[in-house]
Each structure stands twice: as C-alpha cells, then as structure tokens.
C-alpha cells in the first residue's frame, strides 16, 4: 500500500470531507462501537441471567427500572439540545463550561430525588443499596453523554465509539469476574459503577488535552436559555422512560419479581436491536439539523436515506425475530426462561415500529418541533400506564408487552400525522416504496428459508447467518429488477430521463 493510499483511507475514516463521506464515517464508527459494545453487553447479560437466576435478575431489573424513572431529570434533554445548538453554530462551543456546571446541578437534584423515592418504593435495605449504587453509575454516564453530544455536534463520532467500546469491555470483564467469584446483585452493581467511573476519567482526560480544556463556569443566562429549549425534550424523555419502565416497576411493586426477570430478559435482547437504530439516528440527526437551515431538498434527501436504512433493517428483524424467538431465548438463557418467548415476539414487533418512526422524530426535533414530540410522548406514556394497569393484573408479563405494543402504535400514528401537518417534507414517496417492496419480498424469502426444518434445526447463530445472507442477496436482486423495470418503462413510453425519474422515484 502506498503512502497516498494510506492517507486517503485514514482521511475517509477520520476526517469530515463531504456530507456523504461524513455520514458514512460517523455511521461506520457508531456502528462498530455499538456492535462491539452490545456484543460485550449481551455476553454480560447472559452471564448475569444464568448465574443470578430469575429472581435475583428480577431484583436487578426492578432496581434499574426504578432508577430510570428519575435519570431523565439529570439528562433534561441537554444532549440533543447541545448537539443541535453546537452543530448549527460553532461559536456556541465556548458555552460548554456553563453546560457542564448545569449538568452538575441537575445531577445533584436527580440523586436527591432518587434518595427520596427510595423511602417509598421498597423497605428492603439491600434493594435500596443496589438502587443507590446504580444511581451513581447513571450519574457518571450522564456526564459521558454530554461529552458525546459535543463530539456529535462536531461529527466526530469516532471518539465516542472508542469510549463506548472501552466502557463496555471494562463492564463485561469486571462484571463476569465478579459474578464468577462473588455472585450477588450488589457486587454486580459495583462493577457497573466501576466501569462508568473508568470511562468518565479517560473521556475527561482525552477531552481536556485533545479537544478543549475542561472547566466549569456558572452562567445563569445560558442555563435559562438551554433549559427553555430542552424542557420539551426532557419531558419527552420522561414520558419515554415512563413508557419503557413503568411495566417493570408495577410488576415489581406488585411482587411479580420472577415476571420482571422473564420480561426484562426478552426486553434486553430487543433493546440491543434498538441500539442499531440509535446509531443510525445519531449519524443522521446533525445532518438533518444542518439541512433544515439550508435546503428543503437536501433535508428531504437525508430523511429518505435514513428511512431507507430503517426499512431495510426493520422488516427482517421483525420476521426473523418472531420465527426464531424460541431458539434465541433458549440459546441465551436456557429452558427456565421459556415464558420470555411470547414477550420477545411481541416486543420485536414494537422494535420494528420504533425503527420506522425514529427518523420522523429526528426530523421534528431538527425542525424545532420538539414541543410536538413532547405532546406525542405524553399521550403515549399515559396510554401505556393505563394499558399496564388494565393488562398486567390480567395477563401478567404478557399484558405488559401488549400494553407496550399498543402504545407504540399510537405514538407511530401521531408522529406521522405531525410530520405531515407541521413540516414541508414528504413523509413517504415512491423511492421509499421501492425499498419497502424489496424488503418485503426479501424478508419473505428469508422466512421460508429459516422455516425449513433442515435450516431451523441448526444452531441459532448459523440460522441467523443463513437468513441474513438470503435476505441481503434477495433484497439487492429485487433492487436490480426494479431498476430494470424502470428502464423498460422509459423505452416503452419514450419519456425523458428527468420526467420519468420524477414519476418512478
């Protein structure tokens, strides 16, 4: 390899040269970071469930769910706000010391709220201790997210990727070591806290010496301005947390600890899939924010590209997940977690819907319509709580999954309506229709393949690989066929390339 080739490759993965190259670079790094991180996290999850068992894992999940109800007060929508503000105006980077000081204040308030909440949620001193340890871990993570927001604004996601990988590796190695030598929920919680502190120290040192000097500065005016922008996102996040975790908290409060363990075992796998959606959104969100201020055409094109990726990923994920659910749960957790199978099948449908409407949420936020997201999230959270109150006493953990599915569908519909009414962007077009048709046909081929006894009875990893290969191959074949049909139509009707491409795409 010549020196020039090496420089070009290095530039491709570490420099921001153009919009397309920057999106590719950021998606690559976030994808790599997410994939490696979630692989390690999934290994830790499997060890945790198998070693602690259903009941102790249920306690851990209950503690985590309870904390999650409060952590949004530390976040308060700042990461997305910081990313948007700094990506649209680089001069605002000088406000980062004031942002850090605001983060400290919000962290203290959050820790106080959690401490008060402990007095009411449980009387068990051991569970209270676990909750407090995990609360400290989430506080450290909160400071990491604000540093990541700075990297995202500069579209330097490679830094975030390495730090995410580092934290997950430390958490997994230390966590498995603790589980093997000193298995307990409390010790596992300490391992999480340790990994968070290590990652924050390294991130702070790197940021201070390679990006900008870290310092704290008090700035009431800047705080008020940021909070006035971020509060709709904060409460949107709160409603999202209520939507995601009230089912586990309700079941735990009603004494369904085993059910919490079964439910969160399934949810842990579907949440892993959602992180794939997350890194795509993180890669596109700064671009959407930038193009909103520049060009409607560029904004539409960026949204189309994000939706194409989401459609491409969502359909095989849902169909494959439903078919392979028994094998996935058995492979990951063993026969004791067979009640998780139906929960997984319901939640994987929910996951597919989230993939599809996430780009529209990003668009609304980039378009300064975060208050509409706030209202949508409020309705979704309220519906989720109501459905949980109805279905959990009747159907236990399956009722919680059904409640999540119905409330997600409501959010999906409301989001599409908001995009149609509030933005000048077309939320669906023939370009996306072509991708959707190809994905449906390719997923159908994949479905029939993995249902064959010869394939289905293989190891679940081999089945997954075979299904993915068939899906990818079939998808691109159908894309070629659609392009050929487009050429045939041109010849038949004698239309100009520009006119027909407008009709076809």
Question: Residue 354 contacts by C-beta under 8 Å, 6 or more apart in sequence?
Answer: 274, 277, 408
8-state DSSP, 93: G
Across 121-125, 303-307, 368-372, least confident range: 121-125
The percentage of the chain sitting over the pLDDT mark of 70, rounded to a whole number, equals 85
Q: What is the mean pLDDT of residues 220-237?
A: 74
Q: In the predicted model, is pLDDT for residue 257 greater than 70? A: yes
Consecutive H or E run containing 369: none
Angle between helices 19-75 and 157-181 (to 10 degrees): 50
Q: CA–CA separation, 331 vs 451, rounded Å? A: 17
Residue 269 exposure: Cα atoms within 13 Å on the Cβ side: 31
The percentage of the chain sitting over the pLDDT mark of 90, rounded to a whole number, equals 15
Q: Is 184 helix (H, G, I), strand (E, B) or coil?
A: coil
More confident: 472 or 230: 472
The structure's pTM equals: 0.69
What was the pLDDT predicted at 2? 54
Domain positions in the chain are 16-428, 429-505
Query: What confidence category does residue 318 fall into, taking pLDDT thresholds of 50, 70 and 90?
Result: very high
More confident: 94 or 26: 94
Task: Give the tokens for residue 262.
Answer: 């079964």
Pick from 64-78, 206-220, 262-276, 340-354 the range whose average pLDDT is largest.
340-354
Q: What is the mean pLDDT of residues 427-431?
A: 73
Q: CA–CA separation, 21 vs 35, rounded Å? A: 21
**Residues of 56-90 as b/e, b for ≥16 C-beta within 10 angstroms?**
bbbbbbbbbbbbbbbbbbbbbbbbbbbbbbbbeee
Across 115-119, 165-169, 205-209, least confident range: 115-119
What was the pLDDT predicted at 72? 75
Q: CA–CA separation, 213 vs 201, rounded Å? A: 14
Q: What is the mean pLDDT of residues 207-233?
A: 77
Q: What is the mean pLDDT of residues 300-312?
A: 86
Question: Residue 477 contacts by C-beta under 8 Å, 6 or more apart in sequence?
Answer: none
What was the pLDDT predicted at 24? 67
């Amino acid at each position: 390899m010549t020196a020039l080739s090496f420089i070009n490759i290095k530039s491709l993965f570490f420099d921001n040269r153009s919009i397309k190259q920057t999106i590719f670079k950021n998606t690559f790094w976030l994808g790599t970071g997410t994939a490696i991180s979630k692989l390690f996290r999934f290994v830790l999850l499997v060890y945790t469930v198998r070693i602690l068992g259903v009941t102790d894992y249920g306690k851990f999940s209950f503690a985590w769910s309870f904390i999650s109800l409060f952590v949004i007060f530390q976040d308060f929508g700042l990461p997305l706000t910081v990313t948007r503000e700094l990506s649209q105006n680089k001069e605002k980077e000088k406000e980062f010391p004031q942002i850090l000081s605001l983060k400290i204040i919000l962290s203290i308030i959050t820790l106080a709220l959690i401490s008060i909440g402990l007095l009411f949620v449980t009387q068990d001193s051991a569970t209270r201790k676990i909750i407090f340890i995990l609360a400290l871990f989430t506080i450290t993570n909160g400071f990491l997210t604000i540093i990541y927001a700075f990297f995202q604004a500069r579209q330097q996601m490679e830094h975030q990727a390495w730090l995410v990988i580092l934290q997950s590796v430390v958490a997994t190695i230390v966590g498995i070591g603790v589980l093997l030598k000193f298995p307990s929920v409390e010790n596992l919680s300490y391992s999480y806290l340790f990994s968070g502190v290590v990652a924050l120290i390294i991130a702070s040192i790197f940021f201070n010496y390679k990006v900008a000097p870290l310092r704290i500065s008090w700035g009431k005016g800047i705080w008020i301005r940021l909070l006035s922008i971020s509060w709709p996102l904060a409460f949107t996040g709160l409603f999202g947390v209520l939507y995601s975790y009230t089912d586990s908290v309700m079941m735990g409060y009603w004494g369904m600890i085993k059910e919490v363990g079964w439910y969160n075992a399934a949810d842990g796998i579907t949440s892993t899939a959602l992180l794939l959606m997350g890194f795509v959104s993180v890669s596109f969100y700064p671009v959407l924010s930038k193009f909103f201020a520049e060009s409607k055409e560029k904004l539409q094109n960026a949204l189309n590209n994000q939706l194409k990726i989401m459609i491409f990923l969502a359909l095989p994920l849902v169909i494959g997940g439903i078919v392979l659910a028994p094998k996935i749960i058995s492979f990951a957790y063993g026969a004791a977690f067979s009640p998780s199978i139906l929960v997984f099948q319901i939640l994987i449908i929910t996951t597919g819907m989230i993939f599809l409407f996430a780009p529209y949420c990003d668009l609304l936020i980039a378009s300064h319509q975060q208050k509409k997201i706030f209202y949508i999230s409020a309705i979704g959270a309220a519906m989720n709580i109501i459905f949980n109150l109805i279905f959990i006493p009747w159907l236990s953990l399956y009722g919680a999954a059904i409640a999540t599915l119905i409330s997600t569908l409501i959010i999906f519909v409301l989001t599409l309506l908001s995009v149609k009414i509030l933005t000048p962007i077309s939320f669906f077009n023939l370009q996306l229709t072509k991708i959707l048709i190809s994905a449906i046909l390719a997923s159908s081929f994949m479905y029939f393949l993995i249902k064959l006894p010869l394939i289905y009875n293989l190891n679940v990893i081999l089945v997954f690989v075979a299904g993915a290969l068939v899906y990818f191959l079939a998808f691109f074949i159908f894309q070629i066929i659609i392009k050929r049909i487009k050429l045939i139509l041109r010849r038949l009707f004698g239309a100009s390339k520009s006119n027909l491409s407008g009709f076809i795409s």
